[in-house]
Amino acid sequence: MTTTSAIASIDTMSHNSAASASRRSRRRHLLVGTAITLVVLFVFAYGVKRVIQTRSWQVAGELISQVETDERVVALTFDDGPTDSDADAVLDVLADRGVPATFYVNGKDVEGNASAMRRIIEDGHEIGNHTWSHRRMAFVSPTTVAEEIEPTDDAIRATGYDGPLTFRPPHGQKLLTLPLYLAKHDRLTVTWDVAYEDWSGNPQSSDDIIDATVENTQPGSIILLHPWFGRTNTQKAIGPAIDRLKDQGYRFVTVSELIG
């Protein structure tokens, strides 16, 4: 090999080596950039999930999940429904014990269960808006928010109820459009701090619900139960839970009375 050929070969090898190093560097930068992007997306998604699920904060408007007080006073609330077929099992227990409650109802069920709504009102309980169809209210448009809330307000008022009308989002979920709507319309969001029904599909007895509810209640708590649609174990838990809390010196009021 001539000197000139050797030099050319060395130059080619150096060029190839440099090109290979450049490709490796680009791959490293691409991998690092991809990793950073994935981390940012994960953190963002985690933050969004926390905002959606948190029961004690929202981006706009007022939210109440419990009330700071030393007084042994609590609010008992029921979500979903109502259903005529379950009304007596729920309302008889409250009437026997002289306990007022707050019922967060769905508009689609209000119209088809007139007798349950009538008795809730006649017994002096409070009613709140729980959307029309019980859909999740995180990633929804402003139009959807209005379509879920306003017809439900109208359906509740059409029953003759003229008391306070607070709002509770299904599953407690909210992100941006729902809180902005509620803030604009001066509506209070009410969540809860005591809810121990098991929705995982595992069998749960009424005693399980009673024990968990009583053990986790504190002054100013907002208790949540779902007694409709044949949930008999929850229905059976209502009376004993009330009795045990009363034995501990607790008094029951509506949500509006608790926050007022």
Catalytic positions, please? 79, 226
Find tokens 């981006």 and name the residue: 59
Look at residues 90, 83, 75 and name the one whose alpha carbon lies nearest to residue 236: 90
**CA 260, CA 253: separation in Å to the nearest integer?**
11
- Residue 169 near residue 32 (C-beta atoms within 8 A): no
String of DSSP letters for 49-72: HHHHH-SS--SSS-EESB---SS-
Integer-rounded Cα Rg, in Å, for the chain is: 28
**CA 171, CA 55: separation in Å to the nearest integer?**
9
82 cis-preceded (ω within 30 degrees of 0): yes
Query: Residue 106 is which amino acid?
Result: N
Query: Residue 129 is which amino acid?
Result: N
Cα distances (Å, whole numbers) of residue 246 to 73, 124, 242: 10, 20, 6
**CA 167, CA 24: separation in Å to the nearest integer?**
57
Q: Where are the beta strands (DSSP E) in 110-225?
A: 126-129, 189-190, 222-225
